[in-house]
Structure 1
Amino acid sequence: MSQQNNLDHPKLDLHSRTGTNADTLQRAILDNLFYIQGRFPDVATPHDWYQAVAYTVRDRQLHRWVKTAQTYKKQKSRSVCYLSAEFLIGPMLGSNLVNLGIEDEVREALSALGQDLDVLLEQEPEPGLGNGGLGRLAACYMDSLATLEIPAIGYGIRYEFGIFHQRIENGWQKEISDQWLHLGNPWEVPRPLLTFRVNLGGHTEHYTDDHGNHRVRWEPERVVLGVAHDTPIIGYGVNNTNLLRLWKAEAEQSFDFEAFNTGDYYAAVEEKVKSETISKVLYPNDEAISGKTLRLEQQYFFVSCSLRDMIRIHLQQEPDLSNFHEKFAAQLNDTHPAIAVAELMRLLVDEHHMDWNPAWSVASRTFSYTNHTLLPEALETWSLPLLQQVLPRHVEIIYEINMRFMDQVRVLTHDVCGAVTRLSIIEEGEPKRVRMANLACVGSHAINGVAALHTELLKKTTLNDFHNLWPEKFLNVTNGVTPRRFLLLSNPKQSKLISDRIGEGWITDLEKLRGLEAHLDDAGFREDWRRVKRENKEALAKLLKERTYVDVDPQSLFSVQAKRIHEYKRQHLHLLYVVTLYNRIINNPNLSMAPRVHILGGKAAPGYAMAKLFIKLAHAVGEMVNRDQMVGDRLKLVFFPNFNVKNAQRIYPAADLSEQISTAGFEASGTGNMKFSMNGALTIGTLDGANVEIREVVGDENFFLFGMTAEEVVHLKTNGYHPRHYYDGNAELRAAMDLIASGYFSHGEADVFKPLIDNLLEHDPFMVLADYEAYCHAQSQVDDLWAQPDLWTRKSILNVARIGKFSSDRAIREYCEKIWKVQPTPVD
């Protein structure tokens, strides 16, 4: 009997099997504990119970998922395909309970079984399928696509080992492998029959077919299989359940019996090991050529599987691929999937025998490209010899694309000021390199930045030549975050307080938070708001004690900077201020100041020495400050280890002050700034990324602004920046840097932090010293406001009330309207 017939069969009541009342859920949990875990309650571990609950919740997703797939197929819906090397989805159980609206029923069912849902939530490992903001953005967008009833598939890689676990040893970051799959993943559905062969290496053969057409055959050196693993993504309060399809790499032949029988045991499994390496780890170290090769193979592997899957779906209902772009809108999330432009051309021309021009018309109307960086050095390029070695056919296609594009450019620009050279996909040099951002721009019908400032700077700087050529392609879609995970799930007390006052409509229409402004003058509401924040801070203080052994006072101002460790994000500016406060207390033991707890968190890339040195410095300063009895509870510095989605959900609700202090003109958007503000933190920040728009909507008076503008940064650099001038001219800055350089925080070893101090004094590429004085002044304004708790509370409420613009729902609506031209397809 077909699946369709099963669902429609009058004697099968799937709703009774996947009901959501407490009694049905209790029975289902026990069934899954027995039939899937092979356990009975008396011997079941907490992880067994977690798995049983997870499968119970997944069953309710699958019922909606199948119905969703049927609806999309029947209505021939245009679908969004989000191509991303990262999907930092976070733990799924809590999020799925919220979106299904069954958290209370599951709690009741578990309570009857003697289990605590909060304990079971802690059993779930973090799927480390992303590095930071890029992957978390992709996950937020998948949540919003489903909630807005937009047909969508997220395509990526099923990394066996995700972003590393961060362990701190003697203040230094140590990377521990992330074995998130070692106990199984109840949320995914393996599809072993949905497999594609992916070619790598080898050479091409040109020939003429029986009809006189020029054809190209790719003879690969080796072939890897891509096997689909599906995770259902359910929307909030709707039946639509979309698909996150991640590809796992496997060998065509896992075991070589001939090699085994001759005693060569390594050769017997060599192909399996080599093939599976492709989906083994997120972002391998690419300093060596082997790492670069693997990273290129990863990118090609997932886009090849994804595009062929899209073609497979299309051809189920259409006779050919001439209208492929009408069925799918494919978004390139940064340049990692940019090779998809050449791969789709290969598939259309080589495998489906389309002529070049119609194939290019289809491909360029299928893709759109999101740029996430303003740093030219961060725009991905690949050496031509490496690309030739791994993807020989794609080099030919890229040259053909570039030749036709260059002809067009010469006509349109007459090569004014060398535009042809700058626009070329091929960068001249030794060796030549392929510019992936240029390929993405040429092969996409739309190019977007991720914040208003970012997009304008893209037009003026990084992608200026493309904007001059195709201004109509450029538009802005400011990033957003899902309020379901980052407010409703992570801050239930504040969410309840909001809903009790203005109803629950804000959960899917965040602009409705504006209704909170009507309650600003309600003293009882303000007191409740302070109480919720205090309880969240108490919870974080308890966790900090468990994780770092540092006692902090929840009555203190919690100032938080939690994000990837990078020089342009300027964690060292934050540390210099903490050292400055420490010096003030030492020099004036009777100093009156707002008690502060400064909290840092984030991971440094394994090969990023300076970022790792920041982490060491943070621990070194914290060790000295936190034990100094003269300081007491007036100042604490804590580094929260292993910052990830699960830990972020504990940190955002407890923050009083959000540190968004990157150098203006360097942060594309940021999303942590949105999450902090959504949870009632006030922001101290520069006019960088989405800070600009956050300040506009929450009000200048509710944002602590400091520092140079992007234009002033460029002007100072252009006219010669001399960091020693600021060091010599500011006694507090000089004292803070000298104390670090003296070895005071490193047990007398002056050389430990010498690279950091020397870099600031001689280069200071992100102008930390130039913005130091303004930063300290803004922090003084923070202290003044903290001394007025009622006024601080008002501003905290206003930050939440006016943050509605930064919902990922708004961002997805803009993508749908401006770029994808996709309409909702509700599922009954």
Structure 2
Amino acid sequence: MNITQTEFVQSFIDKLTTTFGKTVDEATNKEAYQTVSLLLKDIILRKWQKTQNQQVEQDEKQMYYFSMEFLLGRLIESNLLNAGLLSTCEEGLKELGFNSDKVFIEEHDAGLGNGGLGRLAACFLDSLASLNLPGHGVGIRYKYGLFQQKMVNGYQVELPDYWLKDDYMWETKRSDKSVEVHFGGEVLLVSKDNHLHVEHKNFERVLAIPYDVPIVGYENETVNSLRLWSAESMPNSFHFHSSEGHDYYHYLDYKRSVEQISEFLYPDDSYYEGRLLRLKQQYFLVSAGLQSILSRFKRKHDDFFLLPQKVAIQINDTHPSLVIPELMRLLMDEEQLGWDDAWKITTSTVAYTNHTTLVEALEKWPIDMVQSLLPRIYMIINEINERFCQSIYYDHPELRDKIAEMAIISYGQIHMAHLAIAGSFSVNGVAKLHTDILKNREMKNFHTIFPERFNNKTNGITHRRWLMNVNRNLAQLLSNSIGKNWIKEPRELIQLIKYTDDASFQEEIAKVKLKNKERLAEFIQSEYDIKIDTQSIFDVHIKRLHGYKRQLLNLFHILHLYQLCRDNPNIQMTPRTFIFGAKAAPGYHFAKQVIKLITSTSDKINNDPVVKDKLKVIFLENYNVSLAEKIIPAADISEQISTASKEASGTGNMKLMMNGALTIGTLDGANVEIRDMVGPNNIFTFGLTSEQVFEYQQNGNYRARDIYNSDQRLRVVMDKLVNQFFTYDDVEFKNIYYSLLYNNDEYFVLKDFDSYVEAQQHVEQTYRNQKSWLKKSITNIAHSGKFSSDRTISEYANEIWDIHPL
């Protein structure tokens, strides 16, 4: 939209005056942010309404993306960028006397997600709108985010992330679209007019209120929606004047239990009440979302056999798998369809994305919990299971001995991944290796039954945020060199290949990287009072803290380098700055110990005069999207060192690659496709392959203690965990030590150590030859267009959802 700087400035002054009754000189940065947001929202709302009207009028098929997470980050910059107003706004704010960085940072990251799963969902929404596709998000409006991480004496402490303490400028409450969600009670099957009817009695009523967030397409007229549901109590369902006299207190208990549903992302599931709340959240999301979708469908249609032609539902991992029995319930109990018709419609409408091969991450729910909380849903799941098992028995006699392990209900548990596969028309993995593992190993038996359902959709990232917005100097350099066509067609970045040996272009790339490193160094200096060398290698490991992501392997290499420096103070070594950002789940004690080990290592190394000019270790607290946006443009090395076969895809690897970092990684997830794109000489790979990991797991012939005993370097490093190297006692890190030696190193940290050290030596040797390094960096940027989420979404749209640009 074309607005001049003069027009922006005048509109800003007018809006500030009418909203806050202040002059520009009196306004705070927060008020400036809110004023810009209100101005921009006025523009967005007009496009939003126009898009909704067009979608209704054209009656094109809509896609709804159900996810427990949407990790949006700040929207102010991306909304301005997509609306074509970012530079105008920044220059206008400067004219008004504001620093745009300080104004924009007043927006709190939306606390709607945790890691890659939620950030992927956010990137997908951006691409849907930017490609003019009718696709919307469905999630929960959590009052508190995952948690705010504070470091106290090196330990992670979790504080509430009350991101809604200020008005969320982008949401619009839609009270008129509220629906009811019911929990508990009794279900009766009653015969009426020769038909079986369902009566649900004595249930708990919860009001689901939607808040819509506009998703703005890049320089087009499309604004899609992210609908977030908030749970509220229904006072009218209580009788305050009963003779018992204590209903008021019952109501307060009820009100509190209802509000909890949309209060926290991922309640602690290490105890029964926490697991019950998670199940409640999941059903709340799918029931509210589906009721809204069917209500919209019914405004134009009364034939439910048209539903698969007008609606596609994608469930993001197993969390929203209850979409399947809930859609069955609505079609049968509310719309009076028979089982066969309802099942045909459901299995033609729902598609499932799997995000993991980790057994513990494939959700299972105890039968009695589902039966008591969701009695009608349990009845439907049970019937789905009976029919599914019978179909295996009769149609696939070769799998009869596998029925117990394939059943949706078995051994007292409901297996949500099995439900998702049985009840959907598409099952996709998120990287080629991941999909192959699903088809040939983890879900091999299901693939035998439904070979046509399984497909791959390699993840992607929105280059608008992760390159154009966070690394504007690089984006400008690319446009000056190959033109701007890459912005709409990111695969056009491949044209950069012709500049890989161009000395002047390499020099410009080096200048951009140095400027980004200086910016990050200034931030670290101001926030942590740690001075870092911008000429050092910025070695970055930013992701959720988990055993399989192997921050521990990175740490062991750091401690090995530290020992080398201590043993030989004159050693020639390119200085390194190791940067970590990670949160550990509150109940995941091993991960929290690893964080403490990182901070203890940081204290030890950063305060040692012998190594302070060679090594620095930084742990940046409260890792989130906004922090990632500071780190990623400055990275030289991208740590993607998960145990092979455990990381489904990864998207941090793509963001870092797109910003010119070189990957050191195992052949896991999308690392394999990055290597295939850039070539083996432009990535540093190491470690066991997924096949070797499977072989060790099957044969049980891995002995961690043998490696410990045979590798002097490892012994020196690991003994530091229990020999008072870090503390005056030897118990601080003993659980890490014993988990590796006595629990036999589940994620093969020790096995891959030697290979990892060798790969890191190769990193240093390559970095010393800056011409070679910059050539590899440019090659990575050139091939990164393949990993744009625009490509991923186009594949989903054409091959799964069958939706088309309006």
- Considering the TM-score relative to the shorter chain, is it more than 0.5? yes
User: For 2:178, what is the secondary structure of its paired residue?
Assistant: strand
Q: Which residue matches 2:308? A: 325
Q: Which residue matches 1:689? A: 669
* 2:252 maps to 1:241: no
> Structure 1, residues 553-594: CA drift from partner, whole Å, max 9, x if none?
000001010000000000000000000000000111111111
Moved more, 119-128 or 341-350: 119-128
User: For 1:365, what is the secondary structure of its paired residue?
Assistant: coil
Q: Structure 2 matches for 1:347-366, cutoff 5 A?
A: 347-366=330-349
Q: Structure 2 matches for 1:623-638, cutoff 5 A?
A: 623-638=603-618
Q: Which residue matches 1:446? A: 426
Aligned equivalents of 1:31 and 1:278: distance in 2?
40
Aligned equivalents of 1:573 and 1:259: distance in 2?
63
User: For 1:444, what is the secondary structure of its paired residue?
Assistant: coil
> Structure 1, residues 450-473: CA drift from partner, whole Å, max 9, x if none?
000000001122211100111111
> Structure 1, residues 382-430: CA drift from partner, whole Å, max 9, x if none?
10000011100011111111112122111221153622212211012xx
C-alpha RMSD over aligned residues: 1.6
Confirm or deny: 8 A CA contact 2:240 2:247 kept in the other structure: no
Confirm or deny: 8 A CA contact 1:39 1:48 kept in the other structure: no
User: For 2:609, what is the secondary structure of its paired residue?
Assistant: coil
The partner residue of 2:462 within 482, 507, 519 is: 482
Confirm or deny: 8 A CA contact 2:65 2:137 kept in the other structure: yes
Partner amino acid for 2:790?
A: D
- Following superposition, the deviation at residue 525 of structure 1 comes to 1.2
Q: Which residue matches 1:580? A: 560
The partner residue of 1:781 within 762, 765, 769 is: 762
- Following superposition, the deviation at residue 750 of structure 1 comes to 1.1
Aligned equivalents of 1:314 and 1:262: distance in 2?
44
Q: Which residue matches 1:713? A: 693
Q: Which residue matches 1:173? A: 156
Q: Which residue matches 1:11? A: none
Partner amino acid for 2:666?
A: T
Aligned equivalents of 2:674 and 2:147: distance in 1?
32
* 2:349 maps to 1:369: no
Change (3 A) 1:485 1:260: farther
- Following superposition, the deviation at residue 821 of structure 1 comes to 1.1
Confirm or deny: 8 A CA contact 1:707 1:771 kept in the other structure: yes
> Structure 1, residues 724-764: CA drift from partner, whole Å, max 9, x if none?
11111111111111123212122x22110000011111220
> Structure 1, residues 616-666: CA drift from partner, whole Å, max 9, x if none?
000101101111111121111111111100000011000000010011010
* 2:125 maps to 1:142: yes
Partner amino acid for 1:524?
A: S
Change (3 A) 1:37 1:393: farther
Confirm or deny: 8 A CA contact 1:83 1:331 kept in the other structure: yes
* 2:210 maps to 1:231: no
Q: Which residue matches 2:288? A: 305
Confirm or deny: 8 A CA contact 2:64 2:312 kept in the other structure: yes
Confirm or deny: 8 A CA contact 2:170 2:214 kept in the other structure: yes
Q: Structure 2 matches for 1:243-392, cutoff 5 A?
A: 243-253=225-235, 258=241, 266-267=249-250, 269-392=252-375
Partner amino acid for 1:223?
A: R
- Following superposition, the deviation at residue 256 of structure 1 comes to 7.5
Partner amino acid for 2:397?
A: H
Partner amino acid for 1:612?
A: K
* 2:738 maps to 1:758: yes
- Following superposition, the deviation at residue 260 of structure 1 comes to 14
Partner amino acid for 1:375?
A: L
- Following superposition, the deviation at residue 509 of structure 1 comes to 1.5
Aligned equivalents of 2:693 and 2:437: distance in 1?
13
Q: Structure 2 matches for 1:646-725, cutoff 5 A?
A: 646-719=626-699, 720-725=701-706
Moved more, 570-579 or 322-331: 322-331
Confirm or deny: 8 A CA contact 2:392 2:399 kept in the other structure: no
Partner amino acid for 1:378?
A: A
* 2:601 maps to 1:621: yes
Partner amino acid for 2:121?
A: A
Confirm or deny: 8 A CA contact 1:79 1:327 kept in the other structure: yes
Q: Structure 2 matches for 1:491-640, cutoff 5 A?
A: 491-640=471-620
- Following superposition, the deviation at residue 272 of structure 1 comes to 2.4
Aligned equivalents of 1:745 and 1:676: distance in 2?
32
User: For 2:535, what is the secondary structure of its paired residue?
Assistant: coil
* 2:804 maps to 1:823: yes
The partner residue of 1:804 within 779, 785, 803 is: 785
Aligned equivalents of 1:83 and 1:650: distance in 2?
29
> Structure 1, residues 228-283: CA drift from partner, whole Å, max 9, x if none?
10000011121111000000001111897659997987555333222111101101
Aligned equivalents of 1:98 and 1:346: distance in 2?
43
Change (3 A) 1:688 1:321: same
Aligned equivalents of 1:322 and 1:268: distance in 2?
42
- Following superposition, the deviation at residue 714 of structure 1 comes to 1.6
Confirm or deny: 8 A CA contact 1:80 1:330 kept in the other structure: yes
Confirm or deny: 8 A CA contact 1:37 1:51 kept in the other structure: no
In structure 1, runs of 5+ residues without a counterpart are 1-17
Q: Which residue matches 1:89? A: 72
Confirm or deny: 8 A CA contact 2:65 2:138 kept in the other structure: yes
Aligned equivalents of 2:307 and 2:217: distance in 1?
26
> Structure 1, residues 131-174: CA drift from partner, whole Å, max 9, x if none?
10000000000000001111011000000001211100000001
- Following superposition, the deviation at residue 712 of structure 1 comes to 0.8
Aligned equivalents of 2:671 and 2:187: distance in 1?
50
> TM-score with structure 1 length normalisation?
0.95
Confirm or deny: 8 A CA contact 1:256 1:269 kept in the other structure: no
Change (3 A) 1:698 1:213: same
Q: Which residue matches 1:13? A: none
Aligned equivalents of 1:677 and 1:460: distance in 2?
29
- Following superposition, the deviation at residue 601 of structure 1 comes to 0.8
Confirm or deny: 8 A CA contact 1:258 1:268 kept in the other structure: no
Aligned equivalents of 2:425 and 2:247: distance in 1?
52
Partner amino acid for 1:618?
A: I
Moved more, 38-47 or 351-360: 38-47
- Following superposition, the deviation at residue 335 of structure 1 comes to 0.5
Confirm or deny: 8 A CA contact 1:259 1:268 kept in the other structure: no
Partner amino acid for 1:219?
A: K
Change (3 A) 1:259 1:22: farther
- Following superposition, the deviation at residue 318 of structure 1 comes to 0.8
Change (3 A) 1:599 1:76: same
Confirm or deny: 8 A CA contact 1:260 1:268 kept in the other structure: no
- Following superposition, the deviation at residue 220 of structure 1 comes to 4.2
Partner amino acid for 1:303?
A: V
Aligned equivalents of 1:305 and 1:268: distance in 2?
22
> TM-score with structure 2 length normalisation?
0.98
Aligned equivalents of 1:821 and 1:737: distance in 2?
54
Q: Which residue matches 1:437? A: 417
Aligned equivalents of 1:518 and 1:143: distance in 2?
30
Aligned equivalents of 1:705 and 1:147: distance in 2?
34
Confirm or deny: 8 A CA contact 1:547 1:640 kept in the other structure: no
Aligned equivalents of 2:170 and 2:756: distance in 1?
45
Aligned equivalents of 1:39 and 1:394: distance in 2?
55
Aligned equivalents of 1:469 and 1:268: distance in 2?
49
User: For 1:332, what is the secondary structure of its paired residue?
Assistant: strand
User: For 1:224, what is the secondary structure of its paired residue?
Assistant: strand
User: For 1:803, what is the secondary structure of its paired residue?
Assistant: helix
